[in-house]
Amino acid sequence: MRDVFEEIFVLQGPEPVDPTDSARRNMRALRRRFYEEVAVCDDPSGFAVALDGRPIRTPARRALAAPRRPLGEAIAAEWRAQAGFIDPAAMPMTRLANTIIDGVAAAPDEVAGEIAKYLGSDLVCYRAATPQGLVARQSLHWDPILAWAKTALGAGFATVHGIVHVPQPDDAVARARAAIPCDPWRLGAVHAVTTLTGSALIALALAKGDIGQDAAWAAAHVDEDWNMEFWGRDELGLKRRGYRLAEMTAAAQVLAEVGGGTNAMAGEGLAKP
């Protein structure tokens, strides 16, 4: 089973894969489903997933086990859902678990550092000057996040018009960085949300349970949604967006299940300032 699994899931570092690119690369190499039964069983490392009674190993030969049973069941559900062939692009929770177990747990400081880099140029700090409709929409979705950072984290971030980098106050970055979780599963989920949204502040608010997944997703796509309203929808782009949403949902479920946050999967947003 080791060889089969390694062929299906190539060992990844802490950087989430692009599911569309991954699917394209593996289109000709999808393996046929080789198992009948999928189960979740107790394991010293957590709630492990087994195929026909044999535990799954990650590409680095660690147990594919989640710290909470609902997460183990979510991984198992992905394996059950595979039909004739096993498609890694349709298994976001399994991929996230692999990344956390093999990558994040082995290098937590480096992963936290990657998240912290986003704090220096966070999406919600860079605003359009025109048109007024976009300016208003960015304010509607992003101002509450900055207000949350100031109130909940004591971190006051500055906004700027345009895309020219402006350094943020060292104190604000340090205070926000202190909120990055240490638990590998929460850390991996925050990293995934950060890279998916372009905003560490959105990810941290989601991790704290102070913003719901729907609101976080909407905040991350203000500019994209605005452009689609004016220029139309691109089918390939929408497909990629669907894959990213699945990644986001998996990360939000991890945050909701592994302590710290109370509402990561809910749809509520932050209170308007």
Q: 2-104 and 108-257 share one CATH topology?
A: no
Cα 117 from Cα 189, distance rounded (Å): 16
b/e map 229-238, b = 16+ CB within 10 Å: eeeeeeeeee
The helix-helix angle for 235-257 and 184-197 (nearest 10°) equals: 150
- Check residue 232 and give its pLDDT: 81
- Check residue 20 and give its pLDDT: 43
Tokens of 73: 């069941």
* CATH class of the structural domain 2-104: alpha beta
By the 8 A CB rule, do 177 and 201 touch? no
The helix-helix angle for 108-119 and 184-197 (nearest 10°) equals: 30
By the 8 A CB rule, do 146 and 124 touch? yes
Burial (Cβ within 10 Å: 0-12, 13-18, ≥19) of residue 3: exposed
By the 8 A CB rule, do 201 and 145 touch? yes
Residues 6+ apart with CB under 8 A from 181: 187, 190, 207, 260
Q: Which of 264, 270, 206 is nearest to 71 (CA)?
A: 264
Residue with tokens 């809910």: 266
| Type of residue found at 192 | A
By the 8 A CB rule, do 202 and 211 touch? yes
- Check residue 259 and give its pLDDT: 82
- Check residue 233 and give its pLDDT: 79
b/e map 76-111, b = 16+ CB within 10 Å: bebbeebeeebbbbbbbbbbbbbbbbbbbbeebeeb
Each of the 273 residues of the chain gets a pLDDT tens digit; together they read 444 455 566 533 444 444 444 444 444 468 899 999 999 999 998 999 999 999 999 999 999 999 999 999 999 999 999 999 999 999 999 999 999 999 999 999 999 999 999 999 999 999 999 999 999 999 999 999 999 999 999 999 999 999 899 999 999 999 999 999 999 999 999 999 999 999 999 999 999 999 999 999 999 999 999 999 888 878 888 899 999 999 999 999 999 999 864 445 555 567 554
Give this prediction's pTM. 0.87
Cα 187 from Cα 109, distance rounded (Å): 10
3-class secondary structure for 46-70? Answer: EEEEEECCEECECCCCCECEECCHH
**Domain spans of the chain?**
2-104, 108-257
* CATH class of the structural domain 108-257: mainly alpha
By the 8 A CB rule, do 47 and 68 touch? yes
